[in-house]
Amino acid sequence: MNAKAGSEINIQFTTKEKLRAYVRFLKIIWNYNKGLALFRIIVIILGAFLQPLEIYFFSLFIAAIAEGKTDTALTLLIVVIASYGTRHLISELLWSQSNDWFMRVATAATQQKIWESVAKLKPEALNEPEVRRSLDFVREDLWRLHRLAGNSEWFLRSNLKFIAAIGLAIVAPWWISAIVLVDALLQAINLRAESKNDVWTATWNTLDGRRIEYTRYVFLDIQSYLQLRLLGGEKSFLNKFIKANNKILSRFRKIAMTSMRNRVFLSIFHVGSYAIIIIIMGQRALENPQDLAILYIALNLFGLMGEALTGISGSITSVWADMQILAYVNRLMDKEPEKTSGRKIPKQKLVIEFKDVNFKYRGSKNYAIKNLNLKISEGEHIAIVGENGAGKSTFLRLLSGLDKPTSGEILINGFPLDDYTPAKWRSAFHLMLQDAILYQDFVKDNIYYGTDSKKDEDIPYKKALHIAGSDVVIDSLPEKDKTFLGSWASPPGIIPHQVSGGQTQRILISRTLLHGGRIIGFDEPTSAMDANAEMKFFERMLKASGSRGLIFISHRFSTVRRAERILLFEKGQLTNEGTHEELITRKGKYAELYNEQAKWYN
């Protein structure tokens, strides 16, 4: 595997890896609905051989008429009609809406497997360049999987048709078969050459290609579009799109001109070959009417052989082009999943210990956390303060297991955090991220994500709403907690609704409380709330917390000072800790930050 560092990583897959990925996805489609897949295969096989047989029997019918064999001609006529009727029925079955059904089944099967694999990944795996690159391809090229089944059917159908055409060519003069074969090969070679000139596939990973895709995103995303209008930057942004579009269109024009030139030459050769066969065989048929049968076979061979070889070339090219994303996705699906077993979470009071923990993000030279030694006990109410970039959020991510220490270890009741089942630990220590989001879904479903039923509620639904103040938000919505939140994911007939930043945070807090945990972590949960709403939330939260531990990051000292213990981070290091009064007395960085904020209220 050859790769470049960072987001520009490009993986070169071997032919073996690509074929393995292709076979894997065919198996996925087969196993998802074996009955439907088998039906399609049988119909394709029958359809591929019936047309050449029909042509052959019709040629015998012509010969029988020419020879005056009436009884034989009638029998052959019945065979031809039966053959045509069967082929027509099979064609109708193949191209009925069962075709759409099969394509949808294939897409559903492959997508389901992909998302099942992604759902099982270790959270820290998402920081790996190879995984990010694979997900990038999944996001932009997933449409290729939709045509995987169709291209595979095309390949099978074309090969079978070629075999049948060869059988038909045996009964034709060798020189006719040779001309037809050369004509078909030239068309197939040209199609393969054209398929390699897929400009859009080649330019998508360039700046111009990405600019076009990003413009679509910005103009369809409400927040991005409004920001652009506020900046007055829509014209300059659009100009970049137009320049990128023109560059790509010029490449399309160049390739299109070459394609048209080649097809003119191929058409001349095709028509010339067709004319030669008709003239020679036509003269022979005038002398011997039985040669009309050979003429009929020869003319049909043009279509059959050309369609078969063109289909083989085109389907191989299309499938081969799609194998790159298949290989990326296959590599993604082969990633080691997050473990689902491990040490049980202790029932006794949890004691968390950071021992000489250091952490730096991938590609960074600087440590986000340095030489951290700290003990935290379940039931403590802890506030974390520090300037931006001090390591506060990183500390909570390490504690939740989303990131792993670069060195050192995190112990839970004396045992390494890695010994415990990750999902169980995330339930014991539940973290609300700073950039947590609401999904485009109904309010209640948003809050219940991750809980199977009311039995899983740590804090009752209505109480969770009241503590966060989201009950007020929900009451103001048109359909209460059945209101659909979002901008584009709602189906016709359901009007989506959007909420403000502060309202979003209240709903997110309710979701966190519903999930609960023996220790709950909040990363700036009230940054978008007004001071009064924040104060009410923390008052209710502290009363309802009981024996739970609370760890929260906040820049508002009116909230921070309520904590039993305050941790001060500076440049990735824990430099001080204590109560508000103790830290003020020490007149260090904490007192400086507090006084700087307090002067605006005095």
For the four alpha carbons of 409, 412, 418 and 424, in that order, the dihedral sign comes to negative
Residue 258 has φ and ψ, to the nearest 5°, of -65, -40
pLDDT score of 7 more than 50: no
pLDDT score of 459 more than 80: no
pLDDT, position 146? 75
pLDDT score of 6 more than 80: no
pLDDT score of 370 more than 90: yes
Domains of the chain: 13-205+254-333 (1.20.1560.10), 379-403+415-598 (3.40.50.300)
pLDDT score of 3 more than 60: no
pLDDT, position 149? 86
List the structure tokens of 420. 């415990």
pLDDT, position 457? 61
pLDDT score of 257 more than 60: yes
pLDDT, position 5? 38
What does the DSSP 8-state code read for residue 569? Answer: E
Give the strand pairing for 381-385 and 565-570. Answer: parallel
> CB–CB of 8/205 below 8 Å?
no
CA distances from 597 to 288, 563, 574, 602 (A): 107, 18, 21, 10
Least confident of 120-134, 266-280, 345-359, 390-404: 120-134
Tell me the per-residue pLDDT of 284-313, one tens digit each, with 9 for 90 and over.
Answer: 888 888 888 888 888 888 888 888 888 888
Q: Which residue has the higher pLDDT, 472 or 322?
A: 472
Q: Please tell me the distance from the alpha carbon of residue 14 to that of residue 549, in angstroms, as a whole number.
A: 52
Confidence of residue 27 (pLDDT cuts 50, 70, 90): very high
Residue 403 CB neighbours (<10 A): 20
Helix (H) / strand (E) containing 377 = strand 369-377
170-174 LR contacts (CB < 8 Å, sep 24+) = 171/56, 171/59, 171/294, 171/297, 172/294, 172/297, 172/298, 172/301, 173/294, 173/298
> CB–CB of 87/94 below 8 Å?
no
Tell me the per-residue pLDDT of 486-525, one tens digit each, with 9 for 90 and over.
Answer: 877 777 778 888 888 889 999 999 988 888 889 999 998 8
pLDDT, position 434? 85
Sheet order of strands, 369-377 included: 369-377, 351-359, 407-412, 415-416
Which of 147, 578, 157 lies closest to 594 in space, CA to CA? Answer: 578
Q: Please tell me the distance from the alpha carbon of residue 109 to that of residue 130, in angstroms, as a whole number.
A: 24
The mean of the pLDDT values for the chain is 86
Torsion of CA 269, 270, 275, 278, to 10 degrees: 140
pLDDT, position 541? 84
Q: What is the CA radius of gyration of the chain?
A: 34
Buried b (16+ CB within 10 A) or exposed e, 68-81: eeeeebeebeebbe
Q: Average the pLDDT over 249-266 and give the result.
A: 87
pLDDT, position 156? 92
Q: Average the pLDDT over 150-158 and give the result.
A: 91
> CB–CB of 313/189 below 8 Å?
yes
Which of 356, 390, 398 lies closest to 373 in space, CA to CA? Answer: 356
Sorted by sequence, the CB contacts under 8 Å of residue 35 that are 6+ apart come out as none
pLDDT, position 455? 56
pLDDT score of 199 more than 70: no
pLDDT, position 81? 93
Give the strand pairing for 369-377 and 565-570. Answer: unpaired
Confidence of residue 458 (pLDDT cuts 50, 70, 90): low
pLDDT, position 419? 94
What does the DSSP 8-state code read for residue 374? Answer: E
Least confident of 97-106, 280-289, 341-350: 280-289
Which neighbouring-strand residues pair with 375? 353
Sheet order of strands, 381-385 included: 429-432, 519-523, 549-553, 381-385, 565-570, 573-578
pLDDT score of 4 more than 60: no
Of these ranges, 118-132, 209-223, 262-276, 490-504, the one predicted with the greatest mean pLDDT is 262-276
What is the value of pTM for the model shown?
A: 0.76
Confidence of residue 568 (pLDDT cuts 50, 70, 90): very high
DSSP letter string, 303-333 = HHHHHHHHHHHHHHHHHHHHHHHHHHHHHHH
List the structure tokens of 467. 């503590």
Q: Please tell me the distance from the alpha carbon of residue 303 to that of residue 230, in angstroms, as a whole number.
A: 60
pLDDT, position 514? 87
Confidence of residue 200 (pLDDT cuts 50, 70, 90): low
pLDDT, position 39? 93
Q: Please tell me the distance from the alpha carbon of residue 596 to that of residue 407, in angstroms, as a whole number.
A: 35
476-485 LR contacts (CB < 8 Å, sep 24+) = 477/443, 480/443, 481/442, 481/443, 481/444, 481/447, 482/442, 482/443, 482/444, 483/442, 483/443, 484/440, 484/441, 484/442, 485/438, 485/439, 485/440, 485/441, 485/442, 485/443, 485/446
pLDDT score of 367 more than 90: yes
pLDDT, position 10? 56
pLDDT score of 358 more than 60: yes
